[in-house]
Homo-oligomer: A and B are copies of this chain.
Amino acid sequence: MAGGGTIGLVAGAGRLPFELARGARGAGRRVAAVAFTGFADPALAGEVDAIAWIRLGELGALFDALREAGAREVLLAGNAPKQQLFAEPGLVRLDARGAAFLGALRDQSDDRILRALADALEGEGLRVVSQAAYAGALLAPAGVLGAVAPSEAQRADVAWAWPIAKAVGRLDIGQTLVVKDRAVLAVEAIEGTDAAIRRGGALGRGGVVVIKIWKPEQDPRFDYPTVGPDTLAALVDAGAALLAVEAGRTLVLAREALVRAADAAGIALLGVADAEDAP
């Protein structure tokens, strides 16, 4: 398995590609990134051994780049926010493989696209490696993460809202729910976690409880729910009281800084071990 060969890193937006690149190189792998223009951070070039830039939709070019880099294994990391796609359709350029891929999709839900992409990569003889292989240290532990303990009322809100969040996730709508006093204030759809948090905070006038779950249909190889400094900034703006994430299934980026900032803001961080659909 694994060994010291080249691993391909298919890189979208956010910090996760950086973390996975570091993790893989730390484990002795050569990392060849194929990055999506307009989504991946150009600074990623400094964290990998090689980088090729393509447009979202250039599936043939993706396969070619991975093959040329000598990758037999692939990590999928980072996202391509639909919001950005609607705003800048020019970021997408379909090549023949990409057009065929899109035409064969039953719908354009995130889950469907990612799974189909993973299948297409495996169909090319590439193995899609779980993010947890190189980012396991980032997984949220169960229990209280920082110095602020949730109140009983907040824990009750989490328990009440958890199955609702799971049901929304099962519909592949989004991962985030903002609740207060057993009322759902906001549901994340394509606006993303941070916007949903800010909206829920404004509607609830602070003191809100934010829940980010593992969608039951998510693939454990990629697509881990992720929280990081941006999430915390949104929680602060929202006057949130608590963030609950799924223990063992949520990647926490820059954890030390995040916990410190949460403590300073009086925000409780809770890792919840989900019983419902544990793998």
Query: Complex Cα distance A22/B191, Å?
Result: 41
List B contacts of A203 (CB < 8 A).
Answer: 82-83, 86, 189-191
Query: Complex Cα distance A203/B190, Å?
Result: 8
Tell me whether A185 and B181 are in contact in the complex, defined as CB-CB below 8 angstroms, given that A164-B171, A168-B168 are known contacts.
Answer: no
Residue A186 is within 8 A (CB to CB) of chain B in the complex: yes
| Given A82-B183, A109-B184, 17 new contacts (CB under 8 A) | A82-B203, A83-B203, A86-B204, A87-B205, A107-B182, A108-B183, A164-B171, A168-B171, A172-B184, A173-B184, A174-B184, A174-B187, A184-B189, A187-B188, A190-B203, A191-B199, A199-B199
Residue A92 is within 8 A (CB to CB) of chain B in the complex: no
Query: Complex Cα distance A183/B106, Å?
Result: 11
Query: Complex Cα distance A75/B121, Å?
Result: 60
List B contacts of A87 (CB < 8 A).
Answer: 205
Query: Complex Cα distance A167/B173, Å?
Result: 11
Task: Say how far A178's CB is from chain B's closest CB, in angstroms.
Answer: 8
Query: Complex Cα distance A83/B184, Å?
Result: 11
- Asked whether, in the complex, the Cβ of A108 is within 8 Å of the Cβ of B191, the reply is no
| Binary CB contact string for chain A from 181 to 211 against chain B (1 if under 8 A, 0 otherwise) | 1111111111100000001100111000000
